[in-house]
Amino acid sequence: MASQQGRHFLQIPGPSPVPDRILRAMDMPVIDHRSAEFGRLGRDVLDGIKTVFGTTQPVVIYPSSGTGAWEAAIVNTLSPGDTVLMAETGHFATLWRQIAARFGIEVDFIPGDWRRGADPAQIEARLAEDRAHRIKAVMVVHNETSTGSTSRIAEIRQAIDRTGHPALFMVDTISSLASVDYRHDEWRVDVTVSGSQKGLMLPPGLSFNAISEKALAAAKANSMPRSYWDWQEMVKINANGFFPYTPATNLLYGLREAIRMLHEEGLENVFARHQRLAAATRAAVRAWGLEILCENPAEYSPVLTTVMMPPSHDADQYRKVALERFNISLGSGLGKVAGKVFRIGHLGECNDLTLIGALSGVEMGLAAAGVPHRSGGVQAAMAVLEGQEESNTRKAAVA
């Protein structure tokens, strides 16, 4: 591909673009990770990240990808032979299931069609049937990055409560944290898993476990071998801002800046911005005459929109044309939907103008690749961002 001028449009659903402000914050000399200066940095990020999870409980930070945080959640709370309940919401729920199985965990996997989130009623029914309490944990992906569907975590918590089942509740927020409203304490989640490279706007390399008192108690009684992922040493040493092994110091500088940026905008405003950008993107997709993979409007993702290709058209070929012609990267289809969908990310450092530029690239790419569609998607998105669609709806209601 020939060299192209201008900034590349990275519109995949993570890793998301890293803001210049965070890049500058990470541009620091490495310091002694046993020094008082580092202890202050450690306390800043360990306290600050709690506000993003919505918790007063410990949040453990690992130098790893989100996959490591998946594994940490499992090895600290579960033992070989335990049974867990999971929902097939997409590719990443399937991967988390596979990791559990490698540790000898029996997974009751509720089948799904990859077009919706986890069903609270199905989870409630499975738990109600489990009178012997063989199920030790309910594990759910909040925002399924492969499909663009979110699961209704508060409703799932209520479903668990109605059964009186003692199972731990574990939630993957790798692609939703800092982009979608999330409340670890209020929703009584026991382990929340996340990563740095999506809504937190950092490079890949940090992962997180937010841990309830119930989960900490389970970890103390659990027999699963672990060392690197062990919560006990982390929580003890974190109390003074330090880590039991060498931390990713410069990523922690970036994390401190990311937390500042989120609070300067206000978390509620961050969530509202993501909802607005997502609504504009969906309006564009509908104007193009294409179909959104997620079928339930209550479960539309604020983080990304997954678009189905017309029959006999290959999504990866379309993505290739869009990249070569317009310097835009769009997310590929994964697993069952490989080649059948493309994904538009609208998370992290993304605003109205960024999105309109990206959607222009998507629409021009559709034309360049010969994908059947109607024009006008960008205009439809602009109408949402300008408030015209909402205004027209109110006028129609009055008339």
Binding residues for substrate: 343
Q: Which residues are annotated as a binding site?
A: 343
Tokens 């604020």 belong to which residue?
302
Q: Which tokens sit at 150?
A: 């979110």
The closest of 311, 307, 278, 304 to 290, measured between CA atoms, is 307
Helix, strand, coil distribution of the chain in percent, nearest 5? 45, 15, 40
CA nearest neighbour of 96 among 123, 68, 122, 134 = 68
Q: Kindly give the residue spans of alpha helices, DSSP state H, lying in the chain.
A: 20-26, 36-53, 66-77, 91-102, 120-129, 153-163, 213-221, 231-238, 249-265, 267-287, 315-326, 352-368, 377-386, 388-398
Question: Taking the CA atoms of the chain, what radius of gyration do you get in angstroms?
Answer: 22
Identify the burial level of 220 via C-beta atoms within 10 angstroms of its C-beta, where 0-12 means exposed, 13-18 middle and 19 or more buried: exposed
Distance CA 348, CA 135 (A): 36
Residues listed for the chain: 399
* 59-63: strand order across its sheet: 59-63, 206-211, 191-195, 168-172, 135-141, 83-87, 106-110
Closest CA to 274 of 176, 206, 184, 197: 176
Q: Which two tokens stand for residue 81?
A: 């032979």
